[in-house]
Amino acid sequence: MRTVSSAPILSAVPGGGAIPRHVAIIMDGNGRWAKQRHLPRLAGHKAGVDAVRKVTRAARAMGIEALTLYAFSSENWRRPEEEVSDLMGLLRIFIRSDLDELARENVRLRVIGDYRRFAPDLVAMVDGAIARTAGNDGPILAIALNYGAQAELVGAARQLAEDVRAGRMDPSAIDAGAIEARLDTHDLPPLDLLIRTSGEHRLSNFLLWQAAYAELLFVETLWPDFSPAELAEAVAAFGRRQRRYGGL
């Protein structure tokens, strides 16, 4: 499959092409990045957090309204306990070290996924971070934590069933909008561009509903090496694509 690695590197926001309003990234390849350097997997995840910092800054500078990052999937619990705990530790460090900047930069921090299954202190930190930036009106940084698209859709179906059972809704009123309103992403712009790093060509239970009309981009780069220049290339590739939404 084609990647953007041969596209010209743009030094600034690409001119002419449309800027995606909402970009989502499956940040894959931290483990392989570490292995290539004979380092422990944790070193790869740490380098992954550095990439998160650089790429979120670049997304803001390009005028991307919402960036959604897949940080911990509902399937990641299957990893060794030590790695799960390392990832939670990195999330704590990220909130401690980066929340001031996000708040100052007018970013609204959001979480998608069932993060309430995390340790109580981490849930409190995440809630505090969301509350601290809730009054901002700038770009959205949505972090997917214990997120799985199938569980998200099951949750929406359950809410609809409850609404019908309680007489608040008629089954004939259930349409795509009714489902979207019950997804974790209900207040985010429509997903325009979904990027997966590290050469894997899968969605891995990420934003399955939202990806219906998104442009998909698979790049070979391992996540820790994914740079602002590569985000600019991805945005430029998006600007060159023609979106027809089923029309001609």
Interaction pattern, residues 48-87, with ligand FPP; x per rule: CB under 6 A:
xx--x----------------x-x----x----------x
Residue whose structure tokens are 């700038």 = 138
CB of 60 to ligand FPP, least distance (A): 15
Smaller CB distance to ligand FPP: residue 144 or 156? 144
- Of the listed pieces 4-12, 43-51, 171-179, 212-220, which binds ligand FPP according to CB under 6 A? 43-51
Q: Which of 3, 7, 21, 32 binds ligand FPP (CB under 6 A)?
A: 32
Between CA 186 and CA 229 the distance in angstroms is 30
Contact set for ligand FPP, span 184-203 (CB under 6 A) = 198
CB of 190 to ligand FPP, least distance (A): 23
| 45 is a site residue for ligand FPP (CB under 6 A) | yes
CA distances from 153 to 30, 99, 110, 135 (A): 28, 30, 18, 28
DSSP 143: E
CB of 83 to ligand FPP, least distance (A): 8
Between CA 175 and CA 211 the distance in angstroms is 17
Between CA 88 and CA 82 the distance in angstroms is 10
Residue 28 falls in the annotated catalytic set: yes
Burial-class residue 123 by CB neighbours within 10 Å (0-12, 13-18, 19+): middle
- 3-state secondary structure (DSSP) of residue 147: strand
CA distances from 142 to 91, 92, 193, 220 (A): 13, 16, 14, 24
Interaction pattern, residues 145-184, with ligand FPP; x per rule: CB under 6 A:
----------------------------------------
Burial-class residue 12 by CB neighbours within 10 Å (0-12, 13-18, 19+): exposed
Smaller CB distance to ligand FPP: residue 90 or 236? 90
Q: Which residues bind ligand FPP (CB under 6 A)?
A: 27-32, 45, 48-49, 52, 69, 71, 76, 87, 90-91, 94, 143, 198
